[in-house]
Amino acid sequence: MKSWSFGLKAVAAALALGAAAQVAAQEELHVYNWSDYIAEDTLERFQQETGIKVLYDVYDSNEVLEAKLLAGHSGYDLIFPTARPFADRQLKAGILQPVNKEALTHYANLDPVILGSLGDIDEGHNYLVPYMWGTTGIGINVAKVREVLGDDAELDSWGLIFDPEVSAKLAGCGISLMDDPTEVLIAARAYLGKDPNDFSSEALDEAAAVINAARPNIRYFHSSQYINDLANGDLCVAHGYSGDVLQARDRADEAGNGVEIAYLVPTEGAVVWTDVMAIPSDAPNPQAAQKFIDFLLRPDVIAPITNYVAYANANAAATELVDEDIRQDPGIYPPQATRERFITPKTPSNRETKSINRLWTRIKTGQ
Amino acid sequence: MKWPALPRPEGRQFIIGIPWFWLALFFLLPFLFVLKLSLSESTLAQPPYLDIVREFKDGLVVLAINLGNYELLLEDSLYVKALISSLEIAAFSTLLTLLLGYPMAYAIARAPRHWRLPLMMLIILPFWTSFLIRVYAWIGILKNNGLINQTLMALGLIDSPLEMLHTPFAVYVGIVYSYLPFMVLPLYATLIRLDMTLLEAAADLGCRPWKQFLTITLPLSLPGVLAGAMLVFIPVMGEFVIPDLLGGPNTLMLGKLMWTEFFSNKDWPLASALAAVLLVVLIIPFMLLRHFERRSEEAQ
């Protein structure tokens, strides 16, 4: 009996060794991406085609990503920062490595307009490959806002948040602002009709005065909480990313709770942003990252992701593969008239960033 | 304090050395790292600071010590306000947990023997679930169309939901709920050891129950009160999760401010300076406790 159990143990040990050897032999790719930013089967397809095992982690803010990168040895091979100011700053800090464009067989699929918009921060397009893009505007609970403001009120304006008279009326059913100083300050400057990319101290003070006037009517500052709260009817007006507001709309539809959510690009202008793919300079397996980038550049791969996450991709060849209702959604693929109102944010200098962040803490805490 | 007499070949020194070694490794050393970082300068690089040791040649160490971070902490009223506000929140929630925890510990200590264990289990049991999940659960209870508001509205007691989430009230609920066991356990430990004959003697001499409590039970349970207060006060001072999830935007606390400096500003040196200041502020009550303990030992 004893020898029998010993035999079993030996077999188990041999199996464990074999499994370990197999794992060691299999190539691994460590991807760090935003939460809810990929289709359900994307990783499985890549794994089947290449045999590379993808270890996938998610974050919900650029700050968390950047903190890990700056600490060093993050262990990630591929990351998805927002181009401005984050990837711009990461390039300046020298923590990204070049992408080998020649090896990317599907690089030509990229939309030249979007690629061109990155030209000033990544000259020659050697580091950043655009992934998805979107805008930052306002998500509203249509019925509740109409009930408060009346049927003929103009809704596509930052006044919904920054006009204290309007926001006081809406405060009861809930207004949220993003916990992102640059986004909010730019929106406030746009509401004033002034240069949104002016980060001088006078400009910041002007913007702060606008935000402070509306502050008593703001329920909270958060950059992802509003998805759930909009969908559940806990919030009337949310400052948020286009795709996130649209995800809230879809969640409310699925729940069948009668909440109708709409995404609006304010007439005063809204930030347009691009999230890019990039390889950290200390990536353990940049070759695999390279293969994954090329995989994501394929129209048949990226189109289903857009269908799933409700963000427009940067792939011109993929547009025709995207679902009709997504392609026609003005919140995702905006018409030309809306595009003219887009604001491309400038990267504030280090000094400006610090004064912006300190001002932001003051605004949030009402000091 | 008596230092162990030096060379005496006994195991005693070794035994005494263990806690000192432990303190040096897990308290002093990390603190020195933080202190070193707080004296450096932030920069845009990996890692995002310039080491204070700039050069090392011919046996000469060239240091660049930056006191600017501490200067900024004093200059910018934001940090002082955050410190005061953290102290207020920590002090008030310690008081609340004490007011709530004392009767609980007292009742458990006075309960029939076979009831004590189940009652203690009721206090400890929630700890088997993740702290984060328990704080998240409060969001579901306190939010506008959450459990409390839905119940009150269904009963017709209120017409519109009470705003509870993202208010100071929610922060206190979260803190008191999460830290209550830290108050109850040391209180229970002192109350259960209380010499009941003292109370009997007092009763025999005609002392009323309320006065018995004030003159005998309360003073004798003071060490438990103090230990519980420390266990609540110290972690609440640096608390980040509860004010972040349950608090409103105007909950100003050091823990949140440190997060901003570290993540949004990438200013590790300033965040470290804040951490160092917080530590010094927390050491003071700890010293007071030691002082108090020593005095009571001497009195005995």
Go through A320-333 and write b for each residue having 16 or more CB atoms within 10 A of its CB, e for each that does not: ebbeeebbebebbe
State residue B61's pLDDT score. Answer: 84
Residue B38 domain flag: no
Nearest chain B residue to A360 by CA distance is B260
Q: Which residues in B have their CB inside 8 Å of a CB on A?
A: 44-48, 76-78, 81, 143-145, 160, 166, 248-252, 257, 260, 262-267
Residue B50 domain flag: no
Residue B112 domain flag: yes
Q: What is the average pLDDT across B190-210?
A: 90
Domain(s) of CATH 3.40.190.10: residues in chain A:
27-128+278-331, 135-272+343-365
Query: For B22-66, what is each residue's pLDDT tens digit?
Result: 989 998 999 999 999 999 988 888 888 888 888 888 888 888 888
Q: A208: Cβ–Cβ under 8 A, 6 or more apart, which residues?
A: A185, A188, A359, A362, A363
Identify the band that residue B3 occupies on the pLDDT scale cut at 50, 70 and 90: low
How large is the C-alpha radius of gyration of chain A? Answer: 23
Query: For B158-189, what is each residue's pLDDT tens digit?
Result: 888 888 888 899 999 999 999 999 999 999 99
Mutation test of the interface with chain A: which of B80, B84, B139, B144, choosing the one with the most A Cβ atoms within 10 A? B144
How far apart are alpha carbons A43 and B295 in whole angstroms?
Answer: 65
State residue A226's pLDDT score. Answer: 93
Taking residue B71's Cβ as centre, other Cβ atoms within 10 Å add up to 11
The structure tokens listed for A16 are 């464990």
How far apart are alpha carbons A144 and A155 in whole angstroms?
Answer: 12
Site of tokens 């401005």? A84
State residue A24's pLDDT score. Answer: 53
The alpha-helical segments, DSSP class H, found in chain B are 11-23, 29-38, 68-75, 77-110, 113-124, 131-142, 147-154, 168-192, 196-204, 209-212, 218-220, 222-237, 241-246, 254-259, 268-299
The structure tokens listed for B144 are 């506008």
Identify the band that residue B4 occupies on the pLDDT scale cut at 50, 70 and 90: low
With an 8 Å Cβ cutoff, are B260 and A64 in contact? no
With an 8 Å Cβ cutoff, are B264 and A218 in contact? no
How far apart are alpha carbons A261 and A226 in whole angstroms?
Answer: 12
Q: Do residues A114 and A122 make contact, with C-beta atoms less than 8 angstroms apart?
A: no
Nearest to B47 among A72, A174, A366 (CB): A72
Bridge partner residues of A275 (DSSP): A82, A132
Q: A286: Cβ–Cβ under 8 A, 6 or more apart, which residues?
A: A77, A97, A279
A29's enclosing H/E stretch is strand A28-34
pLDDT along chain A (367 residues), means of 10: 47 50 73 94 96 94 90 94 94 95 95 93 96 96 94 92 95 92 95 95 95 92 90 94 93 93 95 97 96 97 94 95 94 92 91 87 84
Mutation test of the interface with chain B: which of A59, A69, A70, A148, choosing the one with the most B Cβ atoms within 10 A? A70
How far apart are alpha carbons A239 and A162 in whole angstroms?
Answer: 11
CA distance A231 to chain B (A): 12
Query: For B117-146, what is each residue's pLDDT tens digit?
Result: 999 999 989 888 999 999 999 999 998 888
State residue A238's pLDDT score. Answer: 97
CB contacts, 8 Å: B250 with chain A: 364-366
Higher pLDDT, B259 or B284: B259
State residue A4's pLDDT score. Answer: 47
Q: What letter does residue A136 receive in the DSSP assignment?
A: E
Q: Give the number of beta-carbon pairs within 8 Å between A and B.
A: 73
State residue A13's pLDDT score. Answer: 52
User: What is the three-class DSSP state of B188?
Assistant: helix
Domain boundaries A27-128+278-331, CATH class: alpha beta
How far apart are alpha carbons A229 and B16 in whole angstroms?
Answer: 56
ipTM of the shown complex: 0.74
Residue B226 domain flag: yes
CB contacts, 8 Å: A93 with chain B: 44-46, 48
Mutation test of the interface with chain B: which of A82, A144, A361, A363, choosing the one with the most B Cβ atoms within 10 A? A361
State what percent of residues in chain B have pLDDT above 70.
96
With an 8 Å Cβ cutoff, are A350 and B44 in contact? yes
Residue B42 domain flag: no
**Secondary structure tally for chain A: helices H, strands E:** 17, 13
State residue B133's pLDDT score. Answer: 94
Strand pairing report for A279-280 and A237-241: unpaired
Q: What is the average pLDDT value for chain B, to the nearest integer? A: 88
A212 touches chain B (CB under 8 A): no
Sheet with A78-79, strands from edge to edge, namely A53-59, A28-34, A78-79
Bridge partner residues of A237 (DSSP): A140, A175
Note the pTM of the prediction, 2 decimals: 0.81
Cα-Cα-Cα-Cα dihedral sign, residues A30, A34, A36, A41: negative
With an 8 Å Cβ cutoff, are B260 and A357 in contact? yes
Q: Do residues A240 and A226 make contact, with C-beta atoms less than 8 angstroms apart?
A: yes
Residue B47 domain flag: no
Residue B6 domain flag: no
Query: Any idea what the CATH number is for the domain that residue B89 is in?
Result: 1.10.3720.10
CB contacts, 8 Å: B46 with chain A: 69-72, 93-95
- Does residue B47 have a cis bond before it (omega within 30 degrees)? yes
Q: Do residues A34 and A60 make contact, with C-beta atoms less than 8 angstroms apart?
A: yes
Q: What letter does residue A85 receive in the DSSP assignment?
A: I
Q: Decide yes or no: CATH 3.40.190.10 for domain A135-272+343-365.
A: yes
Residue B253 domain flag: yes
Give which of A29, A83, A82, A74 is closest to A56, Cα–Cα. A29
Site of tokens 């839905």? B150
State residue B169's pLDDT score. Answer: 93
A351 touches chain B (CB under 8 A): no
How far apart are alpha carbons B259 and B252 in whole angstroms?
Answer: 12
Q: What is the average pLDDT across B233-261?
A: 88
State residue A126's pLDDT score. Answer: 96
Nearest to A234 among B81, B145, B266 (CB): B145
A364's enclosing H/E stretch is helix A350-365
The structure tokens listed for A148 are 């408060």
Binding-site residues of A, please? 180-183
How far apart are alpha carbons A221 and A238 in whole angstroms?
Answer: 10
How far apart are alpha carbons A88 and A230 in whole angstroms?
Answer: 32
CA distance B192 to chain A (A): 44
CB contacts, 8 Å: B264 with chain A: 63, 181, 357, 360
How far apart are alpha carbons A143 and A69 in whole angstroms?
Answer: 43
Residue B251 belongs to domain spanning: 76-266
